[in-house]
Each structure stands twice: as structure tokens, then as C-alpha cells.
Amino acid sequence: MTQPHFANVQQWMQSVITNRGTLEQKLSAAAAAHGLTEHDVVASKRGLSVNQRLEIYAGGYVLRLLECLRADFPGLRRSLGPTVFDMFAKAYLLTQPPASYTLFELGGDFPKFLRETRPVASNVAPGPLLDLPIELARLERAQLETMRAPGLEDKPGVSQFAVSFDFLHDGAVLKSPPCRRLLKLKFPLLAFMKEIQERKLPEPPSSQVSFVVISRILYSVQMTEIESWQYAFLEACAESSSPAAAARESAGKTGRPLSEVLAELVVWLPVAFEKGWLCL
């Protein structure tokens, strides 16, 4: 028999491991798609049949992916409990098997999956606590993305003495660092997350909108709650903006007088630069 091409074997194995259904169903689908049977690819040895070896491999693969999700969402796992978390994680892996060469992308859609599969009783509005796991997942995913993104470690900062009323109107362009994330959350989660990380069992937080900025300074990830006008200002700088234009957008979205926002910026902008929330 002609030796199958390695790329074809890889595609066959991916189909058998990641497709949904029983092993027999997956083997049948893989044979139809790639023209290979399990006997063309896998040898039986050491008293194990071909199917037994495939089941061991497939089980180990899923466990590896599950460990990755556990590592990416430790706070969510502690909040839900290991059993419930694993139930959602396994369902996610079955629904959305990996499509990237890097496992960093594995959990990218996990918050979206939790939102789309949130239980909703008929004729009853979902309770706010059903949103808590989704918001925790969003926070932890954003934290992970900040950790992995290109940073500002090798770039010069902005002197606090450079920020003045003249600076706000001199045509400077503010940009969002690639290692910064902004979140509008349905709960104040930072204190809750801290207690979870300390392995405490805190009471669920009350439903209340909070604004969080996540940044990385000298390779250390920091999460900070900010005010609504600051969130609107930073959001306006997502695609780069002049300080004056971002101030106008912040004032418009939050209803604060523009003069107040501009006055606050003289004090606050040095902090924003120092914490890596903005760059030039």
C-alpha cells in the first residue's frame, strides 16, 4: 500500500479528534473526506486496538485543551466551581474546536459562547446574576490579551510637565497602546476578583455598571476602575484622536461640561500616560 501523505494524515487526525459525534461517526466522516481509514493511519500494538488508541489520544487532546481554558479563566473557574466550569468548557470545545496554531486563541470566544448559551426561562427576563460568569470571562480574557500584546516597555514616556492647557489644543495625537483594554462591565468586579484570587468565597456583587482599564507597565498587568468620562475619553482615543476632540466626545457622552473635562484632563492625563493608558 502507498504511504499516505503526511498532510493528509494530519487532516484526517484533526477530523477524528475535533469533529462531533461518536468515534465511529467521526471515522466514517474522516474516511469520506480524506480517503483514509483508521487502519491506514494507526497501528494496533501492546494489546490495544486501533479504536482504543484513538480514544486515548482524543481524550488526552480534549484534556489538554481543557487545562488551557482552566489556566486562562482561573477566577471564573473558582467562582463557578470546577464541575460547572468544566461542563461549560467541554461544551465550548465541542462547539468551537481550535482553529488556530496557537492555544492563545483557544479561549477568545469563550465569553461570547457563555453569553449565547446563557439559560433563559420562557416569559421571564434573565436575572442579572446570569451575566456574572460572562462578565468575569470578559475581564479575564482582556487581562490575558493585555499580557500577550506588544507593550510600551521600550518606548519613552510623556513627562507630566508636558501636559497643560496648551497641550490639549496644540494638535497632539493621542493613541491607545496595543497592550491596553477597556471594558464596560455590568458589575464592579475588581474587588470581587481579588477575593476570589485569595481563595475566598465572596458574595456576588450587586448589578452596577463599572468601567475598567487594563494596561501593562514594565511587564506587570494592572486593572483599574475609572470614571465614565475617563472611559469615554480613552474610548475616543481608540483609533487615535487629538486631546481636544476626545474631550468633546467625552463631554458629549457623559453630559459633563466641556470646560470641566478639560480642567480634569490637566491633572488626569499625566496619570493616564504613566499607567500606560495612552501614548503619543
Domain that holds residue 250: 151-274
Rounded Cα distance, 194 and 223, in Å: 11
Does residue 55 form part of some domain? no
CA atoms 168, 173, 177, 178: torsion sign: positive
Does residue 253 form part of some domain? yes
Q: Which residues contact 195 (CB under 8 A, 6 or more apart)?
A: 202
Does residue 138 form part of some domain? yes
Does residue 59 form part of some domain? no
pLDDT score, position 58 = 77
Rounded Cα distance, 91 and 89, in Å: 5
pLDDT score, position 62 = 86
Q: Give yes or no: residues 157 and 133 share one domain.
A: no
Count of other CB atoms within 10 angstroms of residue 224: 14
pLDDT score, position 161 = 44
Beta strands in 120-250 (DSSP E): 181-185, 210-217, 220-226
- CATH number of the domain enclosing 249: 3.90.930
Q: Give yes or no: residues 171 and 251 share one domain.
A: yes
Does residue 49 form part of some domain? no
Q: Give yes or no: residues 226 and 270 share one domain.
A: yes
Q: Give yes or no: residues 76 and 189 share one domain.
A: no
Does residue 47 form part of some domain? no
Of 108, 133, 148, the last residue of a domain is 148
Please give the tally of structural domains in the chain. Answer: 2
Q: Give yes or no: residues 232 and 119 share one domain.
A: no
Q: Give yes or no: residues 119 and 195 share one domain.
A: no
pLDDT 10s digit of each residue in the chain, 280 long?
A: 466 778 888 888 878 877 777 888 888 888 898 888 888 888 777 778 888 888 887 788 889 999 999 999 999 999 999 999 999 999 999 888 888 888 999 999 999 999 999 876 555 555 678 899 999 999 999 999 999 999 888 776 655 445 665 677 667 889 999 999 999 999 999 999 999 988 888 899 999 999 999 999 888 999 999 999 999 999 999 988 899 999 999 999 999 999 999 999 988 998 998 899 998 8
Q: Give yes or no: residues 181 and 108 share one domain.
A: no
Of 148, 164, 182, the last residue of a domain is 148
pLDDT tens digit string along 97-152? Answer: 888 888 999 999 999 999 999 876 555 555 678 899 999 999 999 999 999 999 88
HSE toward the beta carbon, residue 203, CA cutoff 13 A: 3
Q: Give yes or no: residues 205 and 229 share one domain.
A: yes
Of 148, 163, 193, the last residue of a domain is 148
